[in-house]
Each structure stands twice: as structure tokens, then as C-alpha cells.
Chains A and B, each alone.
Chain A
């Protein structure tokens, strides 16, 4: 069957390069070939801790979004959610690898075999109290309405931070941010489109969207408060002060909610950082049990 051999051949040629895999699925170490020297005057421990904050946010939110796979409304949304989760997973890999490259590995290295890459040591072998994601991303998904509201809020905050982070004195962070900005802008738009449609759709969807907003808003309380690590890195020109993005975030969210005919809840009073300081709810413990269970059953294995 000469014709089919041609088809097989064509498939073979299609193998060239990793281009067909989504970002973050490459077979290489994420920071392979990147100069990871720490800029002058920057404390590597602070830089690594900051990368963990941003990386954990992405990892935990990716895990939450992945819970929708095989359960999403319509196949088109299944694919869209998959893309968003893949983007965030890619960001998490880069940021955790960056933390590892500056030697910030916490207790994970005592538990993980040497052959396990830093990104996985950090993702799989830290306990909940070592994670520094915010409470915003670890909360349960709720229904689709609450899920898109949370995605809107989280991607609005993250986009505002990443846009500024492109100017970071750490070239690795700046590069990660530059790549992430396009992804996050897309996530924010996607979430906003859904919030508009649910808020201004049917009576039921309006009610559900409003419930989602009301459930998510209190989680903003500690998201925009800087930790000491962030303050020192802001002074060193490496990090973004989350307080600086407050106005932008508030404007974007207010605009979207108003256009969606949703009531904008009062902004929660600032509280000291909780998630960033390793204080988490039982939701994160459960999430990590699922995420880490298999890897921890086989601590000497590489995959």
C-alpha cells in the first residue's frame, strides 16, 4: 500500500521538534541554557522565596482548573480550560526551577532523591506549611460561575504584577514575566467574557455569578499586602509591590462586574499575609495529597 506508507512517512516528518507540544510540555529542563546568575545586591534566599510565591500560585491554580477536565461545559470550554492550566503549569515550572537554581529548596531536598529535578522536589516534596500561594487560588472551585470569577480575579492580579515584573532586575524573572503577560492577558479576557455572559445571561446564571463574586471577594484580603521578602526585593528592583497594582485591579474588576450587571462587593480590609506566610486551609492539604501522593510513594523514582 504505497499510499499509506506515504501517510506514515508524513507522520514521521511531523515529529521534528517539540513545536507541536504546548508550552511547558517540553522534554528539557525548563531553564536549560538560561543564565541564572543572581543580580548584584540581591539576596538569593529572597529571590527564591519570591519565585516560590509566584510559582505556587500558578501551580495550585493549574491544579484547580485541571479538576474541570472531563467535567467542563461544552468541549470548547474543556479545551480552553486545558490551555489555561497548561500555561500556568508552564509558569510554575519555570518559577520553581528558578527558586531551585538559587538554592531555595526548603526541606524538599531532604526528602527527594537527587535525580529528581528541583521543580519536582519543590512541587512534590514540600508540605503545606512550606507553600506560599495565596488563599485566593487554593479555595475550592465551586460551580463554573465561581470558577470563572476566581480566574478573573487571579489573572487580573497576576497580569498586573507580571506586566511590571518585565522590568525586574532579575533577567530570568523578567523573561518569565514577559512570556507570561500574553498568556495571562488571554486568561483574563476569557474569564471576563464568561463573567459577562453569566452575569447578564439568565436569572439563574446571574444569581450563580453573584454568589461566585461574593464567595471570591473576601479572598482578596491578603492578596495585595506585601511580605517582608517582597518589600526587600522591591527596594532591590527585583519584585513588584502588590499594593501598587491595587488600583488597576480594582478598576478592571469593577468595570467587568458592572458591565456584567453584577453588584461589586466592598473591598475587604487588608490583613497581614497568610498564604504567603505558609498559613493555609485544609483545602490546600487535600489538594497536595492528591498532587503529591504518587510521587511520595516512590521517593526514589524518576518519571
Chain B
């Protein structure tokens, strides 16, 4: 029902003006406010893909849940993976305030009509990957997401505040695991270095293409959906991560990495964007498996969802707890 030809009772210019003023004053747009169609569409797409990333992001680490090497690590990882399910739910909720529908968005994910973060198309080869994902991937997510706590769209910003709080635990547990492993056996230390070698560059790609190659970004910045450019955030992430790597005692796999006295920034080498494109467009090592599992969760359990709906219909109107 996208009938944009519907008669609008008042002039759109006035509404647009009001919307622009709200954005300019750094106030929040709320669900029932008038908003330009492009703003709504951009938000739905962004929030949905963010939600998909949380849900798909459960899988790489989830693959280690059954094999976690201590009960404490198992509990921490289970709590973390469960958090990501919660994040997905908060975000789908935010998208639903814009008229989207979670089942419909899930279908789009499964049919590969909407994307998710390319980082989750890499496999987790050792338990050190769990630590490195927490440290680098959740760390990069925090860099990306903390500014979104001020997103111009109220429900999205509120979801992000809650998510960011939990993400900081994720990063801490990952780093703590790596510290433990680095003070462990030589094999454990080698695992950590190997995982850092594999995840460092993909984590830099999490911030998206360079600014001069990211034309959509300008509109998103103007709308207050996005607060900083890709390159700005990427630089901030590198500046944060390098000292953490040094403290940990791992080498970041970039021969060009050096400190620039003049600017006070860590300068890094060129990113292989061709690989990024390959992985984003669905040719990552684990893409098919990630989608297959979501499809199975939907299809194999459809009978459960239907059963609960049928039960609710049968028992509708039966004694329900009185409101209080």
C-alpha cells in the first residue's frame, strides 16, 4: 500500500519545514510525526539491516557455545549471544514503529533482499576468535553505535542506548579472554595472534567505504540518522585499538601502521575494498550457511508459531488476568 498519491490535506511544504526545524534543533523525530518518505525508507532499511546483523551475528560465536573450554566461558558466551538476540528484537521493534513488520523483514533477510554486516560472513576458526570478535568487532560496533544514541529518530536512538550499554560488556569479556589466553600456553598465544591477523582488516571494513566513495552518507548526515563519516569513525577506532593491541602484546597485521606525530593519529595501510565487495555481495566464506540457518529456524518451526496462534484463537476471551 505505498500509495504516495494519496491526497495530503495540508501542504507538504509546511510539514517539511517543520520536520527540518526539528532536525535543525537536534530534537527527535517520533513515530507519529510527519517525515519525508526518503527519511522513513532510509531508516527502515538501516534499522532492519542493523537488526539482521545482530541476529546473524549470533552465529559465528554461537558456533562455539557447545564447545566453550570452561563453564564460566560458556556462561559468558551464552549470555552474550543471548544479548545479540535481544538487540535484534529491540531494533526490529524500532523498525516496526515505522510501519515495517518483523516477519516481513525476516523474509527479506532470508531471501537475501536485505543485507547484514559482512563481518559475520567470516568463520570462527578457534576459540580466540570469540575473544577477538568481542574486542574488535563489538569494539568497532561501539564506535559505530555510540553516535547513534543521538540519532534523530527517537525509537532508534533509545534502542541504541540500551544496546550500547550491553556492547561494552561484550567488548570487555572478549578482551579479558584474550588477556587470559595471552598469559597462557604458547599454543593459546599463537591462536590469539592468528585470530587478530584474520579479523583486523575485516573490522576496519566494518566502517564502510571511504567518505569520497560513500555518496549516501551526506543525506544521512543531514537527516541526523548518521552523525560522523565512515573515515572519521574508522580513525577513531584505530586510535583506540592500537594501544589496546600493544597492551595485549599482539601485532596488528599492517606493516604501514605508524603514529603520525603531527596529527596524533595512528595511520594505517590501504584497505582491500575488492574483498569487502565480494564478502558484502554474499560471497563470503559463510554467507550461505548463515542464511540457511535463519531459513531453517523459520521454516522448521513454523508449526510452533501456528500452534500458538491457534491456541490463542481457541482460548480468546477465556479468563484473563484483570488489569491492575
Q: Do chains A and B touch in the complex (CB under 8 A)?
A: yes
Q: Which residues of B contact A302 (CB under 8 A)?
A: 70, 180, 184
Q: Which residues of A contact B67 (CB under 8 A)?
A: 290-291, 293-294
A202 engages B79 (CB within 8 Å): no
Kindly state whether residue B81 has any CB partner on chain A within 8 Å: yes
Kindly state whether residue A124 has any CB partner on chain B within 8 Å: yes
Q: Which residues of A contact B309 (CB under 8 A)?
A: 201
Question: Considering the chains assembled together, what is the distance between the CA atoms of A59 and B306 in angstroms?
Answer: 32
B177 engages A201 (CB within 8 Å): no
Q: Which residues of B contact A21 (CB under 8 A)?
A: 76, 79, 169
A291 engages B293 (CB within 8 Å): no
| Choice from B72, B88, B89, B307 contacting A202 with Cβ under 8 Å | B307
Residue-wise interface mask of B (292-313) relative to A, using a CB-CB cutoff of 8 A (1 in contact, 0 not): 0100110011011111111100
A201 engages B69 (CB within 8 Å): no
Question: Considering the chains assembled together, what is the distance between the CA atoms of A93 and B73 in angstroms?
Answer: 12
Kindly state whether residue B188 has any CB partner on chain A within 8 Å: yes
Kindly state whether residue A277 has any CB partner on chain B within 8 Å: no
Q: Which residues of B contact A295 (CB under 8 A)?
A: 69-70
- Asked if A303 meets B70 with Cβ closer than 8 Å, knowing A25-B76, A89-B75, the reply is yes
A70 engages B297 (CB within 8 Å): yes
A14 engages B307 (CB within 8 Å): no
Question: Considering the chains assembled together, what is the distance between the CA atoms of A293 and B297 in angstroms?
Answer: 27
Question: Considering the chains assembled together, what is the distance between the CA atoms of A3 and B78 in angstroms?
Answer: 33
Kindly state whether residue B165 has any CB partner on chain A within 8 Å: yes
Q: Which residues of A contact B79 (CB under 8 A)?
A: 21-22, 25, 82, 86
Q: Which residues of B contact A78 (CB under 8 A)?
A: 82, 85
Within 8 A of A (CB), among B69-118: 69-76, 78-79, 81-82, 85-86, 88-89, 92
The residue of chain B having its C-beta at the shortest distance from the C-beta of A20 within the complex is: B169
Kindly state whether residue A204 has any CB partner on chain B within 8 Å: yes
Q: Which residues of A contact B177 (CB under 8 A)?
A: 303
- Asked if A11 meets B165 with Cβ closer than 8 Å, knowing A25-B76, A197-B311, the reply is yes
Kindly state whether residue A73 has any CB partner on chain B within 8 Å: yes
| Choice from B58, B75, B176, B305 contacting A74 with Cβ under 8 Å | B305
The residue of chain A having its C-beta at the shortest distance from the C-beta of B63 within the complex is: A70
Question: Considering the chains assembled together, what is the distance between the CA atoms of A120 and B69 in angstroms?
Answer: 8
- Asked if A76 meets B69 with Cβ closer than 8 Å, knowing A202-B303, A294-B127, the reply is no
* CB proximity of A85 to chain B, nearest CB, Å: 6
Q: Which residues of B contact A76 (CB under 8 A)?
A: 89
A204 engages B293 (CB within 8 Å): no
| Choice from A59, A66, A120 contacting B65 with Cβ under 8 Å | A66
| Choice from A86, A198, A202 contacting B78 with Cβ under 8 Å | A86
Residue of B67, B68, B85, B165 most packed against chain A (CB within 10 A): B85
Size of the chain A interface, CB-CB below 8 angstroms? 68
Residue-wise interface mask of B (276-303) relative to A, using a CB-CB cutoff of 8 A (1 in contact, 0 not): 0000000000000000010011001101
Question: Considering the chains assembled together, what is the distance between the CA atoms of A205 and B303 in angstroms?
Answer: 6
Question: Considering the chains assembled together, what is the distance between the CA atoms of A10 and B62 in angstroms?
Answer: 29
The A interface, classified by DSSP as helix, strand, loop or mixed, is: helix
Q: Which residues of A contact B71 (CB under 8 A)?
A: 59, 89, 92-93, 96, 119-120, 123
- Asked if A82 meets B310 with Cβ closer than 8 Å, knowing A70-B293, A298-B188, the reply is no
B311 engages A8 (CB within 8 Å): no
B296 engages A69 (CB within 8 Å): no
B146 engages A8 (CB within 8 Å): yes
Q: Which residues of B contact A71 (CB under 8 A)?
A: 293, 296-297, 300
B301 engages A20 (CB within 8 Å): no
The residue of chain A having its C-beta at the shortest distance from the C-beta of B147 within the complex is: A4
A291 engages B66 (CB within 8 Å): yes
- Asked if A301 meets B188 with Cβ closer than 8 Å, knowing A25-B79, A66-B78, A291-B67, the reply is yes
* CB proximity of A271 to chain B, nearest CB, Å: 30
Kindly state whether residue A144 has any CB partner on chain B within 8 Å: yes
Within 8 A of B (CB), among A33-63: 59, 63
- Asked if A70 meets B76 with Cβ closer than 8 Å, knowing A7-B146, A14-B168, A295-B70, the reply is no
A63 engages B66 (CB within 8 Å): yes
B185 engages A79 (CB within 8 Å): no
Starting from the known contacts A69-B82, A75-B89, 5 additional A-B residue pairs (CB-CB under 8 Å) come to: A7-B146, A8-B146, A22-B82, A72-B297, A93-B71
Q: Which 5 A-B residue pairs are closest in the complex by CB-CB distance?
A: A201-B307, A73-B301, A205-B307, A82-B82, A73-B304
- 20 A–B contacts, CB within 8 A, in A order: A3-B150, A11-B168, A22-B78, A66-B78, A70-B58, A70-B62, A74-B305, A79-B82, A79-B85, A79-B89, A82-B79, A143-B300, A144-B304, A197-B308, A200-B311, A201-B306, A202-B303, A202-B307, A204-B303, A303-B70
Binding site for B on A (CB under 8 A): 3-4, 7-8, 10-12, 14-15, 20-22, 24-27, 59, 63, 66-67, 69-79, 82-83, 85-86, 89-90, 92-93, 96, 116-117, 119-120, 123-124, 143-145, 196-198, 200-202, 204-205, 208, 290-291, 293-295, 298, 300-303
